[in-house]
Chains A and B, each alone.
Chain A
Amino acid sequence: MNVLAFLGDFGDAVSFIFKERESVSGGVQIGGLGELGGLAGTHLLVSLVAMAIAIAVSVPLGLMLGHRGKGEFLAISVSNVGRAVPAVVLLFFFIAFIGNGFRNVAFVLVLLAIPPILTNSYVGARQVDNEVVDAARGMGMTGVQIVRRVRLPLAMPTIFAGIRTSAVSVIATATIGPFANLRTLGEPILSENIYRFSGQLGAAMVVALITLAADAGIGLAQRAVTPKGIKLAEEPRTRGPRLSLPTRRREAAT
């Protein structure tokens, strides 16, 4: 039945990725590494920009809040609210009120990426053993120094878990770019008329691969920055405040 046809489509999709072909209504070449490369480029660019901004904003903020022990409610709420607002809704909202283009999509993705990173930075900072912090204070470190030299390194694994979560969300969500006239890998998926099913499938496969690669890549980076002692105890704590947050792996949105 459809399974066989599906397999056929699968092969068709792979050929779409690598070879150009004519569009459904003719007249133009679509597909192939050239076009997909371009689309992937935009896709990755907007994702990277969004991640960079989100990290730059969330990590320091989360760490500081975690250090002070203040704003727990804020950190959690941001996460919850962030999840409740669908990226699509945000995007349409911005399209209606602000307009189209790269900036808008990037902005939406930043808002999407912040909650997991912010919350995890907070949690990561909080979970640093108080004794270690006291020792550091005893050595005469200032607040900022403590954050930078004690909390940050020790919180790295948790922070990276948050970054991983965000990255997966952001890359997946960037597929809705074409709604705002940004030609990302979502374009073949949303323009069935021109790209046909094989095009949709091909683009989806590319996105999935990029997502997996990003997840694995960040996972490796996560391992690299994890101080050895912590690597051994990777399970989430069973004691202490249960913040109802995923502390490992990916979560979230689109």
Chain B
Amino acid sequence: MTFLLRRTMAMLAVLALAITASACGSDDKSGGGGGGGASAGEAIKKDPANEGKTFTVGSKNFDEQFILGEIYAQALEAAGFKVEKKLNLGSEQIAFKALKSGQVDGYPEYTGTSLTSFFDVKITDVPKDPDEAYELAKEEYAKEDITALPRTEFENTFRIATTKEKQESLLKGAKTLSEVAELPNAAKLSIAGFPECRQRTDCLLGLRDSYGWKPEFVSDEGKYDPIDKDRSDLGFVFSTDGELLEDKYAVVEDDKELFPPYNISFGVSNKALKDLGPKGEEVIANVQKPLTEKVMQELNSRVSIDKQEPEMVAADYLKQFGFVK
């Protein structure tokens, strides 16, 4: 099954590449100066200037982070860097420490997370505009001698989800969190979340503070499992979850914008930035451009649902979008 799927995807990738190549046609490749930078869709070229330079890419400890880490790592490798991967560092505090201490040269972090977890910005004070949030994070990172590279389009924020049936039966068709909070049975509803969520202001506590809604909390590591198996009525999920590609789930809108922006920004220590160079920065910027929410959902599905290895999924992504042959 998976073999067939992969073969099909490979053939389509070749097709896409052929089309792209012919479309790009006589693009002045030499204009890129043989640099590692390439516009999206164009293959990343090995820059001889990068030879001998090592770059350590880190990541946090969940699927999306593995995928992103692999994508950045493999892209840099294609550009000629010697890349060391230290994925699965741990949670953000550990990853941040690793970046500051130089154990890793760069890792992808969410703007909202960096502001609330590293820079002591209260959740209510985080700018709701993703660019503003990014700029603020960039400022704060700079104080730590770290450069936050430009952000991705997609963000991985919290969503409240439930099954389509439960939205009708339990929530009476409510589509926003405000509506849910006003339901007569609001306090009796239960919501599942990972254990830490219980104590996070950008998670369970946020519902209490922003919506005045205090549902019963079910601590559970499975995201959709508790909703499916009726261990809880709703669940905290993430916007880039693969499961959201399926038609099963309904997302309840965060109309009061409780959750801050969570775009990805690849943070690099200034020391390593010199090695990376502007061309290396271009590689990073280009390889992350196609990452829309839907694309991330697909990539996440491949790892979380199809149980493919993040390394392979990243490699396929780079191939299918033409960054790597």
Contacts and interface: CB of A to CB of B under 8 A. Distances in A.
Given A192-B90, A193-B92, A181 B201 contact: no
Contact of B220 (A24, A181, A183, A196): A181
A179 B209 CA distance: 28
A70 to B, nearest CB: 44
Interface residues of B, number: 21
A90 B209 CA distance: 39
A196 B201 contact: no
Contact of B117 (A25, A100, A191): A25
B195 A192 contact: no
A17 interface: no
Interface string B107-126: 00000000011001011000
Contacts of A192: 90-91, 93-94
A108 B219 CA distance: 20
A104 interface: no
Contact of A191 (B122, B195, B201, B202): B195
A183 B220 CA distance: 12
Interface in A25-61: 25-28, 30
A187 B209 CA distance: 24
A187 B195 contact: yes
B200 to A, nearest CB: 6
Q: Which of B120, B122, B200 has the most chain A CB within a 10 Å cutoff?
A: B200
Q: Which of A26, A27, A179 has the most chain B CB within a 10 Å cutoff?
A: A27
Given A181-B221, A194-B200, A26 B93 contact: no
Contacts of A191: 91, 195-196
Contacts of B195: 178, 181, 183, 187, 191
Contacts of A26: 116, 120, 122-123, 201
Contacts of A27: 122-123, 199-201, 205, 209
Contact of B200 (A25, A183, A187): A25
A8 B120 CA distance: 21
Interface string B211-254: 00000000111000000000000000000000000000000000
Contacts of B209: 27
Interface string B169-208: 0000000000000000000000000011001111001000
A211 interface: no
A15 interface: no
A46 to B, nearest CB: 16
Interface string A181-202: 1010001000111101000000
Interface in B151-174: none
A156 to B, nearest CB: 41
A183 B195 CA distance: 9
Contacts of B93: 24, 192-193, 196
A196 B120 CA distance: 14
Interface in B64-96: 90-94
Contacts of A100: 220-221
Contacts of B202: 25
Contacts of B92: 193
Nearest to B202: A25
Contacts of A24: 93, 117
A26 B220 CA distance: 22
Nearest to B118: A24
A181 B232 CA distance: 15
Contacts of B122: 26-27
A23 interface: yes
Given A28-B205, A181-B221, A23 B90 contact: no
Nearest to B91: A193
3 closest residue pairs by CB, A with B: A27-B201, A28-B199, A25-B116
Given A25-B200, A27-B200, A196-B93, 10 more contacts: A24-B117, A25-B201, A26-B116, A27-B209, A181-B219, A181-B221, A183-B195, A187-B195, A192-B90, A192-B94
14 contacts: A23-B199, A24-B117, A25-B123, A25-B201, A26-B201, A27-B123, A27-B199, A28-B199, A28-B201, A100-B220, A187-B195, A191-B196, A192-B93, A193-B93
